[in-house]
């Protein structure tokens, strides 16, 4: 039993009561493509001035965590915002991460699908003031990913909004990138709740106008667009958007609030998944998708239902700090030896938040080693003068 803080400034006793889900491989092929966006594990022994230099990464722990996702039948979205791109992880670290991950994926018996984020973050915004400069920056990272063997995700770039780019600039850059990619790409629409610097992406503050633009962009060459990941936390918008996509182009939900209903679908259309929360709830996500593939909707909803409050807590405003909750659960579940993140990002959330994540993860059966989780939560409480 632990004594946990509450949102109304009290302390209350709490004993773990959930039945942990056992991670395992799916028994049938999944009917949804599911990418879990994974974090990186720091190496605190080697970390020096993480705000000014490349972060020190524990490569062994980072790759073992990814293998645990693949073992459960999930794909991987690599070097995305969950991996702290632009928030403690630079392009050189991301490039090494991609190369190491792709090498491991090729050795894995399940031959998992891996898509990797290409952006412009190896250059400063002062060097990205034209369509040509932005496109060339993307192409540098795209080439590195294609050489490594990863599928391309064209990450949203702050360079566009920094120059107040209009639709013409977006079309010029994205048309070149999509048409020249070796294989179909995944587009990436990340809302400003995830990154305030992306406000007004696609050249408009109006979501309807932005949607029309990107749908037209896709329709110009749908054969070169595998899908689009949308992270706007707006279920109604996503449902309307996916109805308008050309045949064969997937909607990858990035909605960490409403993923269960969006993935299940409305009987005519459904979303696939590219979600940070899937890295934290992998056993529930994988087994729910297995149930969906079997047509067992009762089990699907039973497994996913308790994960939604957990995800909403992890992704609550300021949403961009969600990475801390992902790493916290990895620590509780023994995937890493410490709760330290690049650039000290673990300090972006407070102890009340972590206590609530602990409770909700227990309720969802996602503390796979309860004794270890309780011991580590106790350590964190003592660090905060509690317990």
User: pLDDT of 57-85, one tens digit each?
Assistant: 999 999 999 999 999 999 999 999 999 99
pLDDT tens-digit readout, 252-266:
999 999 999 999 999
pLDDT tens-digit readout, 262-280:
999 999 999 999 999 999 9
At residue 227's C-alpha, the angle toward residues 223 and 229, to 5°, is: 160
Cα(327)–Cα(44) distance, rounded to whole angstroms? 14
Interval 172-184 mean pLDDT = 98
Residue 175: its pLDDT value, please?
98
How many domains in the chain? 1
Residue 54: its pLDDT value, please?
85
For residue 129, the tally of other CB atoms under 10 A from its CB is: 12
Asked, for residue 340, whether it belongs to a domain, the answer is: no
Asked, for residue 137, whether it belongs to a domain, the answer is: yes
Percentage, residues of the chain above pLDDT 70: 99
Asked, for residue 254, whether it belongs to a domain, the answer is: yes
Residue 292: band (very low, low, confident or very high) from pLDDT cuts 50, 70, 90:
very high
pLDDT tens-digit readout, 353-376:
999 999 999 999 999 999 999 999
| Ramachandran bin of 90, using left for φ above 0, alpha for ψ from -120 to 50, beta for the remaining angles | beta
Residue 291's Cβ-side half-sphere holds a number of Cα atoms within 13 Å equal to: 18
Give the dihedral sign, CA 273/276/277/278.
positive
Cα(12)–Cα(126) distance, rounded to whole angstroms? 51
Residue 86: its pLDDT value, please?
86
Give the residue from 263, 241, 149 showing the smallest Cα distance to 189. 241
Asked, for residue 261, whether it belongs to a domain, the answer is: yes
**Domain limits for position 57:** 31-308
Residue 50: band (very low, low, confident or very high) from pLDDT cuts 50, 70, 90:
low
Please state the length of the chain.
387
pLDDT tens-digit readout, 116-131:
999 999 999 999 999 9
Residue 47: its pLDDT value, please?
79
CATH number, domain at 205?
A: 3.20.20.70
Residue 51: its pLDDT value, please?
64
Residue 52: its pLDDT value, please?
67
Asked, for residue 188, whether it belongs to a domain, the answer is: yes
pLDDT tens-digit readout, 309-352:
999 999 999 999 999 999 999 999 999 999 999 999 999 999 99
Asked if residue 94 lies in contact with residue 55, where contact means CB atoms within 8 angstroms, the answer is no
Asked, for residue 199, whether it belongs to a domain, the answer is: yes
């005519």: which residue's tokens?
A: 268
Residue 207: its pLDDT value, please?
97
For residue 295, the tally of other CB atoms under 10 A from its CB is: 9
Asked, for residue 207, whether it belongs to a domain, the answer is: yes
Is omega for the bond preceding 218 within 30 degrees of 0, making it cis?
no
pLDDT for 298 beyond 70: yes
Cα(22)–Cα(332) distance, rounded to whole angstroms? 15
pTM over 0.75: yes
Asked, for residue 323, whether it belongs to a domain, the answer is: no
């Amino acid at each position: 039993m632990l004594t946990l803080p509450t949102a109304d400034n009290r302390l209350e006793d709490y004993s773990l009561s959930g039945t942990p889900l056992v991670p395992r491989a799916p028994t049938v092929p999944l009917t949804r493509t599911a990418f879990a966006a994974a974090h990186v594990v720091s190496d605190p022994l080697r970390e020096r001035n993480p705000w000014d230099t490349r972060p020190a990464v524990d490569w062994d722990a980072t790759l073992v965590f990814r293998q645990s996702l693949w073992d459960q039948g999930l794909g991987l979205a690599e070097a995305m915002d969950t991996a702290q791109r632009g928030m403690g992880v630079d392009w050189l670290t991301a490039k090494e991460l991609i190369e190491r991950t792709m090498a491991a994926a090729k050795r894995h018996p399940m031959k998992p699908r891996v898509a990797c984020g290409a952006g412009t973050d190896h250059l400063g915004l002062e060097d990205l003031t034209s369509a040509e400069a932005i496109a060339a920056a993307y192409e540098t990272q795209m080439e590195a990913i294609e050489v490594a063997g990863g599928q391309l995700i064209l990450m949203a770039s702050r360079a566009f909004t920094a120059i107040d780019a209009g639709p013409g600039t977006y079309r010029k850059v994205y048309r070149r990138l999509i048409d020249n990619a070796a294989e179909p790409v995944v587009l990436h629409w990340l809302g400003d709740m995830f990154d305030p610097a992306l406000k007004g992406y696609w050249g408009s503050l109006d979501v309807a106008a932005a949607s029309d633009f990107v749908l037209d962009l896709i329709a110009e060459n749908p054969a070169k667009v595998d899908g689009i990941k949308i992270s706007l936390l707006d279920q109604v918008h996503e449902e309307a958007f996916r109805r308008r996509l050309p045949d064969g182009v997937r909607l990858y939900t990035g909605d960490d609030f409403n993923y269960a209903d969006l993935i299940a679908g409305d009987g005519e259309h459904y979303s696939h998944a590219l979600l940070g929360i899937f890295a934290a709830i992998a056993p529930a996500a994988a087994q729910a998708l297995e149930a969906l593939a079997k047509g067992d909707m009762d089990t699907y909803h039973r497994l996913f239902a308790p994960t939604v409050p957990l995800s909403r807590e992890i992704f609550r405003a300021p949403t961009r700090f969600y990475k801390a909750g992902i790493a916290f659960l990895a620590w509780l579940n023994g995937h890493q030896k410490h709760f330290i993140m690049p650039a000290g990002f673990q300090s972006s959330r407070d102890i009340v938040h972590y206590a609530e994540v602990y409770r909700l993860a227990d309720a969802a059966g996602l503390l796979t080693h309860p004794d270890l989780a309780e011991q580590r939560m106790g350590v964190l409480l003592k660090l905060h003068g509690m317990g």
